[in-house]
Each structure stands twice: as C-alpha cells, then as structure tokens.
Amino acid sequence: MSSPQFREPLIEVKDLYVYFYTYAGVVKAIEDMTFTIYKGEKFCMVGETGCGKSVTSRALANIVPSPGRIVKGKVIYYRDGKPINILELSEEQLREIRGKEIAYIVQDPSSALDPLYTIGYQIVETMIDHYTVKDWKEGYKRAVELLREVLMPDPEQRIKNYPHELSGGQRQRAVISIGLSNMPRLLIADEPTSSLDVTVQAQLLELLRRLVREHGLTLFLITHDMGVVAEMCDRVAVLYAGNIVELAPVDEIFKNPKHPYTMGLLRAVPNPQADIEKLEPIPGTIPNLIYPPPGCRFHPRCPFARDVCKREKPPLVEVGPGHYVRCWLHAE
Amino acid sequence: MADIKRFLARRALTFIPTLIGVTFLAYIIAFAIPANPAQAWAGGIKANPEVVARIIKEYHLNDPWYVQYYYFMKGILTNSIIDPRWGYPVMTYMLSRFPITFQLTLFALFFLIVLGIPLGIVSALKKDSWIDALVRTWALVGVSVPIFWLGYIFIYVFFYQLGWINIAGIPYPKVHITGVPIIDAMLSGEWNIVWENIKRFILPGFTLGFAGIGVIARLVRNSFLEAINSDYIYFARMRGLKYRRIMTHALRNALVPVVTVLGLQFGGLLGGAPITETVFSIPGMGRAMVDAIFSMDFPLLIAGTFLVAIIYVITNLIVDILYAVIDPRVRF
C-alpha cells in the first residue's frame, strides 16, 4: 500500500483557521489548513513542537482547548457516505461522535487517566456512555478482552488497578484500549509514544499497526519523529507554523522532498532511506505565531528565500501524483 | 482490611504525645497565672485559712509544677479531680456539657457543607460572575469579622426585630440516648423538639460557621477549577463521556483537599464555640471554659482542653480514613 489510492474520504478538512485568544494577543495557530484522510489509510502529521499538530487533531472532533477557537473552515466527516459538517453539530451530537466514531489516544497517559478510578472503570464508562455494551458486567468482560488485545499482562487483575499502580507503558496500553473500546472509525493518536522509553515505543507502534490492520481502522498519527513516520504511515503531511508545507505519500517525502523545510527536517534526523553524511540543524527558531512572518512563514529560516517569499504566501500546489508543496520554488 | 487495624493502632499511639503536649501547655499557662487559686476557690479575700490549706493539699498546689501536672493528669484520667467550685468531678461536668457544644458544631458543619460546597461549585462553574464575587467577598468578610459582633448583629435582626428564633433554654427530648438533644429527638421521633432545637441552634450554628463557609467555598471553587482544567477531564470529554459523569469525575477529585480542610475546620469550630456560646448563652463546653477562666477554675479548664484535644485528634483520624476512601493513592 505504498502508493495509496484510497479514494473514499473519511474526513475532510477545508480551509481551517484556528486562533488562540490569549492575553498576549491572538495566536494564529492554524491557517488555511486543507487535507483529507481517506478510509483505511494511515495518515501522519509531522512537525516541530507548537506547529499546530495537536490542535489540528482536536479540531477534527471540534474539541480545541480553550482559549482556542475555530474561526473559519469546515470539517466534513463522512458517515455511510453522507457528509456531516462536524463544526455545525450540537454539543450532544459531538459527544456521541467523540470516543465512539472519532477516538483519541493522548500523549501523556499519566495525566489523562483519572487517578481516583480504576482503569477498568474508565474503560467501561467510555462504552457505557456510548451504549456499546449493555451493562457494567458485560463492560468489564469487554474491558478484559480489550486489555488482552493491547497485550496488557494479566488483564483480569489490571482492570482493578488504579492508574498510579501501573507503569507508563501499561498506562498507555490502558489509554489505547479506551481509544479502541468503541471500535472507532478514526483513531487519532497524538504522539502516543513520546512519553515512553524507546523499547516500549517500538512495541506500542507495532501494536497500533496491528490493531489498525486487524480492525480496519483509519489512523491519524501525530508525531515529531521522522522514524515513526517512515515506519507507520501511508501518507504524511509536514506542518510548519500552522501551515501544511508539504503533503505526500510517505516514500515521496523521504526520496523526493520538495519543500526546503522538509529537506531540512530530513537532514536534521537520521534518514532511513538516504545516505547523509552528517546531521544538520535547521537554523533559526520557530516563529512567534502572534506576529507570524508575512508571506511564507518559513522564509526567515529558508536558505532559498526570495523577495516574493517575504511578500506573498505561496499556494499549496500539486507537483506529482498526490504530492503537494507550499513553496514559491515549485509554484510557478 | 488488616491494614486498617494496624493503621488505627499506630495512629492511636500517636495520640498520646499530642494529648500530653496539649494538656501540658494548658497546664503551664494556668500555672503561670500570678494569682493564688486556692484563695479564690475558698471564697476570695475573706477565705478561711484552714480551707485554703486543705485546698492546697488536695490539689498539690505547693508541689513543683511537674508533680502538680502528674496529679492533674492522673486525676483527669481517673476522673477523680473534683471541681473546686461545683464539687463534681471535672470530667463528668465537662462531658455533661459536651453534647451541647457538639450539637452547635454539627449545625455549623452542616452550613459549611450544604452552603460552602455548592457555593464553591457554582462560583467555579460561573467563574468571574457576581456569585463568584460574592463568595470571594464572603470569604474575606468571614475571616475579618469577629464572631461576637456577627452574633450580636444576628440576634438584633433575627430575634429582636424579626422574632424568628429562640435564644434561651435548650429543649431536651424525653429520652436520653446519645445525649445530643436534636439527635435524641430525631431518634425518638419528637419532631416538635427537633424543630425547637433547630430554631434555637440555627443562628449560633450559622454564626459559628460563617467564616468557614466562605473559606470552604473558595477552596472548593479553586480545587474544582483545577480539576475541570485537568488533562483527565479534557480526555474524558474527548472520550465523549456524558456531562454528568464528567462532573462526577471533577467533583470527586476536587473533594480530596476539601475533606482535609473540613476536618481542620471542625477543630476550628470547636475553638470558636466558646465565643459563640457566650454570645448566644448556650450552656456548652465552650461557655463552661470561659466561665472557668474567669473564676480561675483551671482543673475544669484543663479538662476542657483535654476533651477538645481528644476530639481534634479523632477528627483528624476520621479525615485520614476518609482520605483513603476517596483517594486510592493514599494507603495506610
């Protein structure tokens, strides 16, 4: 599935703008964001801290944290071929979608689980509130199965444990089984392994890949790790300062990166698909999004910056099959 | 549950140094009074020297302080110290007054819980609204206004002007089970006595609890806000849990610190009881202690201090147990 032609969209983001209204000013976290996730694919979003990856993922179920607000745009979710604009739903309709059709796996499982309830309870309540099990008894049975499926050791005992009694990896497994509990159509994993140590990371990524394959889920994975991207994804979107700068099938990104930022990113980490002699950092720092640079947001750090880059924002153009770039180098 | 027995035994042992410390301090303060208590007990300036000498011998008043203290504590523990003014054993006398003070404190605690907690929750949910401002003002006024002033104002308004309440006598039910009038009346179903007790105690209880209500409301507000803004509540929303269930999670987490402070407040209420009882002429333990101070009746005073200290440590024990019930991270 390296050249993905899943042409049935699951969720479409169109022209999305998310701003954060802080005391310091309006943080323009996401601007002009457009992408589609197709049914059954593994879609990755990669970028530095603060580039808007998480915010984008939260916007998919309209749960952007305060003081953030979606100021413009559409999020179209396809249920049985029927388009639904997520941003026009009532809070109760959204609640019914969240956790059931669009489920999240969060970055930090230690703070995401309520310390006062057993993990069994927290898995079961997620199902009870979506009516996917008939009662608590059935729920607990199901919770044991789920924990077994995410390879939690000794699941019958673990459901009685409180979060603080588990290790980091076990907690993340619990969070993953909460995400899976209602068999969502879209599973959003927001840096699911970055708070864990490397050996556990590899196990969990393998687990996620298996779960997605076996249950036919669609995965939206957020990461800052190009290695994870290479291992997990079908298509990848590279984010810089709230904009998608490049979107392409995963092989294309590694073999044929077009955007200077993507190229820089690949030179800054060990690339599994190209020989590079030494790692080079990208000069400069991420811009202040209250006063983002005019024109292309990357131009202050770009070795190829020209006059037009400082004045005008480049459009996202298709440069190859399914390969989009937002850069003046490729816009003409 | 074997754990809890060991925990209780261990905690009971720690009571001993606490109680010795408290009574010792009270004793030292009483000992430091530069007056001659024996003279006062025997009838003042014109007292019969023979009687004075007998009192000195009886209470070991000419012995060094540590001998005196020893006899005092022995006398209190065996209830063999006779009150020099009344001729009853001091502990018997204090214990007979205790139910009244306990009832007063229960009324105050009732207001703390039924007003403090809901006010806190409402002001958290409606942050920066008029009710939030009211609670903030209440907390400030509550700790600044002296109880006696507040008590007299309330008496003026509700007794003198409106005539809604009683301020004399304690209505006792016919039966004597626990000794606390309102509880006995409830147990025996004498509802008119219950009502009379409410009319008698509602104002002193409110006065005594007034400062605490504001403090508890502020604390509930802050810890509820902290809970609501926590990651696990955000994740609960991402899981699509129902509103009521999310609030239950937030509330239970918010109550962890509140239970501790309620326990401390209970002790504080006992400490405030002397003034309230004096203002409202309630014949409780606090009132007895104030009288004891005026008549230099320090056996009675130390007996009272001893009782209050016992109640205080028991309350703290109950708080510790409650703590473990609410928060699974706390174990014995």
Q: Which residue from B240, B326, B328 is facing A98, i.e. has the nearest CB?
A: B240
How far apart are the C-alpha atoms of B92 and B96, rounded to whole Å? 6
Interchain pair A112, B252: CB under 8 A: no
Nearest C-alpha neighbor of A50 from the set A285, A233, A306: A285
CA distance B162 to chain A (A): 48
- Whether A95 and B252 lie within 8 Å, measured CB to CB: no
CA distance linking residue A115 with residue B232, whole number of Å: 8
Name the residue type at position B167.
Answer: I
Q: Cβ contacts (< 8 Å) between A162 and chain B: which residues?
A: 328-329
Say whether B232 and A113 touch across the interface (CB within 8 A): yes
Q: Is A211 helix (H, G, I), strand (E, B) or coil?
A: helix
Comparing CB atoms, the residue among A65, A100, A115 nearest residue B234 is A65
Report how far residue B326's alpha carbon sits from residue B193's, in angstroms, rounded to the nearest whole number: 36
Give the model's pLDDT for residue A3. 44
pLDDT at A1: 40
Residue of B127, B225, B226, B238 to mutate when probing chain A, most A C-beta within 10 A: B238
Mean pLDDT for chain B overall: 85
Cβ-based contacts of B242 with chain A (< 8 Å): 95, 129
Most B CBs within 10 A among A114, A160, A220, hence the mutation to make, goes to A114
Interface of A with B in 99-128 (CB under 8 A): 99-100, 103-104, 106, 108, 111-118, 125-126
Query: What is the phi/psi pair of residue B99, to 5°?
Result: -55, -35
pLDDT at residue B234, rounded to an integer: 94
φ, ψ at B227 (rounded to 5°)? -65, -45
User: A239 to chain B, minimum CA–CA distance in Å?
Assistant: 23
Single-letter amino acid code for the residue at B298: F
Q: List residues in chain B touching A: CB distance below 8 A.
A: 230-232, 234-243, 245, 249, 252-253, 256, 326-329
What one-character-per-residue DSSP string does A54-116 give? HHHHHHTTT-PPTTEEEEEEEEEEEETTEEEEGGGS-HHHHHHHBTTTEEEE-S-HHHHS-TT
CA A315 – CA A167 distance, rounded (Å):
46
Q: Which of B231, B241, B245 sits opposite A112 (nearest CB)?
A: B231
Q: Which of A105, A110, A116 to mutate to test the interface with B (most CBs of B within 10 A)?
A: A116
- When scoring B229, B234, B235 by the number of chain A Cβ atoms within 10 A, the one with the most, hence best to mutate, is B235
Q: Which amino acid is at B67?
A: V
Using an 8 Å CB-CB cutoff, list chain A residues near B232.
111-115
In a 3-state reduction of DSSP, which class is residue A321? coil
Is residue A238 exposed (0-12), middle (13-18) or buried (19+ Cβ within 10 Å)?
buried
CA distances to A23, A294, B205 from A290, in Å: 11, 12, 54
Q: Which of A98, A162, A164 comes nearest B239 by C-beta?
A: A98
Using an 8 Å Cβ cutoff, are A48 and A286 in contact?
Answer: yes
CA–CA gap between residue B316 and residue B331 (Å, rounded): 16
Q: Give the residue on B whose Cα is nearest the Cα of A108.
A: B231
Contacts of B238 in chain A (CB under 8 A): 58, 61, 63, 98-99, 103-104, 106
**Rounded CA Rg of chain B:** 23
At A181, is the secondary structure helix, strand, or coil? Answer: coil
CA distance A98 to A130: 9
Residue contact A129–B241, C-beta within 8 A: yes
Phi, psi of A6 (to 5 degrees): -80, 105
Per-block average pLDDT, block size 10, for chain A (332 residues)?
63 93 91 92 89 91 91 92 91 93 91 93 95 93 93 92 91 92 93 82 88 90 89 92 92 90 84 69 83 88 88 90 90 71
3-state DSSP percent of chain A in helix, strand and coil, to 5: 35, 25, 40
Rounded-to-10 torsion of CA B85, B86, B90, B95:
-130
User: Over the stretch B125-181, which tens digit does the pLDDT of each residue have?
Assistant: 988 888 889 888 988 888 888 888 988 898 888 888 887 877 777 888 777 778 788
| CA B5 – CA B2 distance, rounded (Å) | 5
In chain A, what is the greatest distance between 2 CA atoms, to the nearest angstrom?
Answer: 66
> Which chain B residues are Cβ-neighbours of A117 within 8 angstroms?
249
What are the start-end ranges of the H helices in B112-190?
Answer: 117-125, 130-144, 147-154, 181-188
Across the A:B interface, residue pairs with CB atoms under 8 Å apart total 74
H helices present in A242-306, as ranges: 250-255, 260-268
Contact B327 A108 (CB under 8 A): no
How far apart CA A116 and CA B236 sit, in angstroms, is: 13
* C-alpha angle B92-B97-B99 in degrees, rounded to nearest 5: 110
Chain B residues near residue A125 by CB distance under 8 angstroms: 241, 245
- Beta bridge partners, A38, equal A9
**Portion of chain B with pLDDT greater than 70, in percent:** 98
Say what the pLDDT of residue A157 is.
93
Residue-wise pLDDT for B237-285, tens only, equals: 999 999 999 999 999 999 888 988 888 888 878 877 888 888 888 888 8
B140/chain A closest Cα distance in angstroms: 28
How confident is residue B2, by pLDDT bands cut at 50, 70 and 90?
Answer: low
- Interface predicted TM-score of the whole assembly (ipTM), two decimals: 0.91
- The answer to whether B232 contacts A112, with C-beta atoms less than 8 Å apart, is yes
A164–B328 CB contact, under 8 Å: yes
Cβ distance of B231 and A111 shorter than 8 Å: yes
Tens digits of residue pLDDT in B43-80: 777 777 887 888 787 777 777 888 888 888 888 888 88
**Contact present, A102 and A13 (Cβ < 8 Å):** no
Residues of A in contact with B230 (CB under 8 A): 111
Q: Which of residues 247 through 286 in chain A touch B, CB cutoff 8 A? A: none
Task: Give CA A152 to chain center in angstroms.
Answer: 24
Residues of chain A contacting B235 with CB distance shorter than 8 Å: 104, 106, 112-113, 175
